[in-house]
Amino acid sequence: MTQALRPSLQKTIAAGAVANNPVWVQLLGLCPLLAVSNSVTNAIGLALASAAVLIGSNSVIALLRHRIPEFARLPCFVLIIASFTTVAVLLMQAFTYELYLKIALFVQIIVTNCMILGRAEAFASKQTVAAAFADALGTAAGFAIALLTLGAVRELIATGGLFDQMEMLFGATAASWHLSLTDDPSGMLLAALPPGAFIVAGLLLALKNALRPSNSSSPMIPMTPYEQE
């Protein structure tokens, strides 16, 4: 990779994670985000699975972009994404089965996540492997930031603590990671329920918009020269 490309790749990663955040800016992937983010553990599990599928599928689609016929473009994208989703499901079943049982449905439907298919169609199918990898890494980081933020806030409000049941991801030693900030574990249960997901997500989105500079006309960063065909 040349020195000239490195700043462009860094800008692509930063854009996907912050300026073009798939959740807080583009409002994509909200179904699994709202359903799974009632704890940090669940959020980390879905974030890792989504990142693996997004990075893997973006890279393969970019690698095969000149070999995929135009008339079969979308079916091929879905097939590639489904293959990586199947791998993610099998890995979770093998290594984090208890966590998988809690979020199984939303791991299995990663293949239909509009965030992943959207990046494949709008970016990976038109760019080099390096550019597609950088875009996927940034988008995955942005999705993870949104998941972890929402998961942490909801878990904290609902239980008065953080990092409960982390042993499902990182083994028995992670049980000691649980942080309780109150002696009363019964917090505001609404935050852990589906209506609470909408309320907390809406408040966080409003906070993000309030903190955005008023002279920011558009959050979308234009493509850099190397990204164009």
Lowest mean pLDDT among 29-33, 52-56, 148-152: 29-33
Tokens representing residue 190 in the block: 């609404």
Q: Which residues contact 48 (CB under 8 A, 6 or more apart)?
A: none
User: What is the crossing angle of helices 97-108 and 40-63, to 10°?
Assistant: 50
Strands (E), the chain: 161-162, 179-180
% of the chain with per-residue pLDDT over 70: 87
pLDDT-derived band of residue 141, with 50, 70 and 90 as boundaries?
very high
pLDDT the model gives residue 51: 94
Q: What is the pLDDT of residues 203-227, one digit of tens each?
A: 888 888 887 765 554 444 444 433 4
* Mean of pLDDT values over 38-46: 91
pLDDT of 72 above 60: yes
Question: 179 vs 222, which has greater pLDDT?
Answer: 179
* Mean of pLDDT values over 131-155: 92
Domain map (residue ranges) of the chain = 23-213
* Rounded CA separation 128/125 (Å): 8
Q: What is the pTM for the complete model shown? A: 0.83
* Rounded CA separation 83/37 (Å): 25
% of the chain with per-residue pLDDT over 90: 33
pLDDT-derived band of residue 180, with 50, 70 and 90 as boundaries?
confident
pLDDT of 182 above 90: no
pLDDT the model gives residue 187: 65
DSSP secondary-structure letter at 84? H
Q: What is the pLDDT of residues 98-130, one digit of tens each?
A: 999 999 888 988 888 888 988 898 888 888 899
